[in-house]
Amino acid sequence: MGNILDIGSINIDYVYEVEHFVRPGETISSRSMSVFPGGKGLNQSVALARAGGRVWHAGRVGRDGLGMIKIMKDAGVNVELVDSSGSATGHAIIQVNASGENCIIIHPGANFELERDFIDNALRSFGEGDFLILQNEVSNMPYIINAASRKGLSIAFNLAPFGPEIKEYPLGLADILLVNEIEGGGVSGRHNTEEILDEMTKLFPSAAVVLTAGRDGAMYRGPGETRTLSHGIYDVPVVDTTAAGDTFTGFFISSVADGKPPAEALRIASIASSIAVSRKGASSSVPTLAETLKANLKYLGA
C-alpha cells in the first residue's frame, strides 16, 4: 500500500439537533447540542486510518484545537505535519434535522493559514507511488495541486465544499475526482448522474470520477471510459449524515491505495459510509475496516 498524505482541514464541530432547518428570519430551539472533532480533512484522515491506510495529516489548528491532534493520533494518523497557530481552529455549525439530514456553516480559521513553505515541507517526503488527498477547505489549493503533481503523487480531490473558485483550479492534474451530485453538477453544468459522469469524463479525461448520489448509491468512471460501475445502498437507520461522504472517500482511497479494483473499493466504501450514517457525529461515527468487513447489512441495490 502506498503512503497517503492528507493536506486538509481540522475543525471543531458544534452539532445542533433540530426539528427542521432554521429559515430566514426564524429563531428556533435545538433539542441538543454536541461538540465533535470534524473538518473534512480530519474526517477523511480518520477514515483512511481506520480503513487500514498509512496516512499522514498536514494542517493547522489554533490553541483551542490541540485536542483534535490527539484524536487523529489515537485513530492511527501520523500527525507530525500538523502545526499550531495563534488563530482560532476552524469550526463548523451543523444543524441535523429529524430526518438525519444536515446543513453546515464553516469558519476556516487556521485552515486558511497554509502558506507555500508549509505546503512544500509537507510534500517533501512524498513522491511517486504515494497518494495525496485534498478537500476544498484549506488555503493555496492551486499551489498544492501543482506542487504535488510535479513530485509525481497520485492526487485524489474531493470537490467539497463546492464553490466557483474550484473551476479555476488545475483539476486536469488530478487522478481521482470525488463528487456528490451538487459538486458534480457545479463542475459539469449537468444534473442527471449519467450526464454528470459523461461531462466530467470529457472535461477531465485523465481522471477517474467517483460520484456519490445518496439513495442512488455510488458510481465510478475510469479515465476516459464510458462504462459506469455502480454500487447501491444498504438498509440502515439514518441518524446523522455528516461524515457519510468523508467516510466513503477515506475507505475508497484506502482500498485503491491497497490495490483493490474499483468495484471492490466502491463496495467497501459504501458499507463503511452506511455504518457511519447510523451513528451520531462526524469522525466519531467512522467504523474500522474490521467492522466494515464483518458487517451484515441488507443490500437494497442501486
Hey, is 82 helix, strand or coil? strand
Buried b (16+ CB within 10 A) or exposed e, 234-247: bebeeebbbbbbbb
The confidence score (pLDDT) of residue 283 equals 86
User: Which DSSP symbol is given to 216?
Assistant: G
Task: Check if the beta carbon of residue 5 is closer than 8 Å to that of residue 126.
Answer: yes
What residues contact 12, with CB distance under 8 A and at least 6 apart?
35, 36, 37, 38, 64, 65, 68, 89, 90, 91, 92
Residue whose cell numbers read 453538477: 185
* pLDDT for the residue numbered 292: 96
Give every residue of the chain whose pLDDT is below 50, as ranges. none
Compute the mean pLDDT over every residue in the chain, rounded to the nearest whole number. 94
Q: For residue 91, what are the CA distances in angstroms to 4, 38, 106, 112, 245?
A: 24, 8, 6, 12, 18
* Cα 91 off chain centre by: 16
Residue at grid coordinates 502558506:
115
pTM: 0.92
For the chain, give every domain's residue range. 4-10+39-91+109-301
Question: What CATH architecture is 4-10+39-91+109-301?
Answer: 3-Layer(aba) Sandwich (3.40)
**How many angstroms separate the CA atoms of 103 and 87, rounded?**
25
Nearest to 268 by CA among 283, 256, 285: 256
Q: What is the pLDDT of residue 240?
A: 85
Name residue 180's beta-bridge partners: 212
Give me the pLDDT at residue 265, please. Answer: 97
